[in-house]
Structure 1
Amino acid sequence: MKLVLFDLDNTLLAGDSDYEWGQFLIAKGAVDGPDYEAKNKAFYEAYKAGGLDIYAFLAFALHPLATHPRAQLDAWRAEYIETRVRTMIPQAARDLVRRHLDEADLVAVITATNSFITAPIAQELGVEHLIATEPEQVDGRFTGKVAGTPCFREGKIVRLGQFLEAHDTRLDDLDTSWFYSDSHNDLPLLEKVRYPVAVDPDPLLRARALERAWPVISLRQP
């Protein structure tokens, strides 16, 4: 079996869907603008620097899901996908995904961003399988908490293992495995697959990729 995994933010997307969702909520007046923007930026900078407290971030990022009716959230999400996300998907990313969908047995997007935001993005890319951080729901309403293991750093390995178990296999049993990512935060999983690929990588990942002779590609540049 051939497995292909794609990180989402700053890999298949030319931007970060989690950060941009926060900016979108500010523009809609759904959150306290100045305070939320400052915290959104601080968490994003911590992520890029490799020092993100994932649970503190999720307490912040998932709170708006618990404070607005689901119908309103769904309407905002549809507008967000249409007005902000589609323009963030390079044609080269669509082409790469399509090629692997034609060739691989199992293709999935694996992302730390929560599934409420990312499910329609994976669908837009034509990818059936999504492994993402899951917001907790009770009786169909978001609680503002995370369900299970966040899909971040080593948590991606945990969540991938659960996903593969549901497909009656394990990573070590696969014929081949690929993972495309831009971020040094994904090094734990990049080290586990047979074919790691750095995509428009941050400086730390670029250095590791060059050290290990991993392919380095761009989905943004010609």
Structure 2
Amino acid sequence: MTNLALFDLDHTLLPIDSDKEWGRFLVRIGAVDGPAYTKANEAFYQDYSTGNLDMPAYLRFCLAPLAQYTRDQLDTWHAQYMKAIIEPAIRAEAIALLNKHRIAGDLCCIVSATNTFVTTPIAHALGIKHLIGTRPATMGDYPNARYTGNYIGTPSFREGKISCTETWLKTLGKTWGDFEHSFFYSDSANDVPLMEKVTHPVATNPDEPLRAIALARRWPILELFT
């Protein structure tokens, strides 16, 4: 029986937050109002870190710039962002962890709250076929349709990661019961709902709230980026 291996992205497989760094990149290239965007970006990140993030408000904020530019322009910027920010942050330790599960024949998927515009090329760079992320809405269902600034469906955040994962599994004709073992690697206490759902939660580079939970529940702690 194939096992299921789920991975958070930011501060788990990457030692950075890809969403926050995308915002910083937009500031550097002048695509957004620098001072105002930086202040809001930092405030939302602090709310996330303390478990107080208003996800709909954050999504309105971070998806708004996507609606202001064509897909071609956004893709050009994203390629620059990948080269400057993401590729240098891909660590051998993360690739080794992914390879361990791939070699074992596990079904691997990244489950991130970050939107799929930002994360899809990152998943490709990590060699992961399956990605669950918050989906930005577009003005049509044709290639290169412009983004609207809104999102589709349930954000893959907190309990939403469970429902989004179950929806994805259904597209593969699978349920949790099809796996003898299921793993979820995450750094954040925001991900405790999905960590409680799998058979093998692994606190990976955990923040302090998750570290305390992991110690109390005797979950394994993996310091991937020591």
Q: CA RMSD in A?
A: 0.8
Query: Aligned partners of 2:71, 2:30: CA distance in 1, in Å?
Result: 16
Query: Aligned partners of 1:121, 1:93: CA distance in 2, in Å?
Result: 13
2:206 equivalent in structure 1: 201
**CA shift for structure 1 position 89:** 1.8
**CA shift for structure 1 position 150:** 0.3
Query: Aligned partners of 1:161, 1:219: CA distance in 2, in Å?
Result: 27
2:75 equivalent in structure 1: 74
User: Which ranges of 4 or more aligned residues in structure 1 deviate by more than 6 Å?
Assistant: none
- Aligned partner (choices 198, 220, 224) of residue 219 of structure 1: 224
Q: Percent identity?
A: 49
Give SS of 2:131's match. strand
2:114 equivalent in structure 1: 113
Query: Aligned partners of 1:32, 1:10: CA distance in 2, in Å?
Result: 26
Tell me, yes or no, if structure 1 residue 9 matches structure 2 residue 10. Answer: yes
Residues 4 and 104 in structure 1, CA contact (< 8 A), matched pair in contact too = no
Query: Aligned partners of 1:104, 1:7: CA distance in 2, in Å?
Result: 19
Residues 176 and 194 in structure 1, CA contact (< 8 A), matched pair in contact too = yes
Give SS of 1:197's match. strand
2:19 equivalent in structure 1: 18
Unpaired runs of 5+ residues, structure 2, are none
- Aligned partner (choices 181, 185, 190) of residue 186 of structure 2: 181
Unpaired runs of 5+ residues, structure 1, are none
Query: Aligned partners of 1:3, 1:39: CA distance in 2, in Å?
Result: 36
**CA shift for structure 1 position 69:** 1.1
TM-score (norm 1): 0.98
Aligned residues: 221
TM-score (norm 2): 0.96
The aligned amino acid for 1:143 is: T
Query: Aligned partners of 2:71, 2:146: CA distance in 1, in Å?
Result: 7
**CA shift for structure 1 position 176:** 1.0
Query: Aligned partners of 2:116, 2:13: CA distance in 1, in Å?
Result: 16
Residues 17 and 117 in structure 1, CA contact (< 8 A), matched pair in contact too = yes
Task: Map 1:121-160 onto structure 2 (within 5 A).
Answer: 121-139=122-140, 140-160=145-165
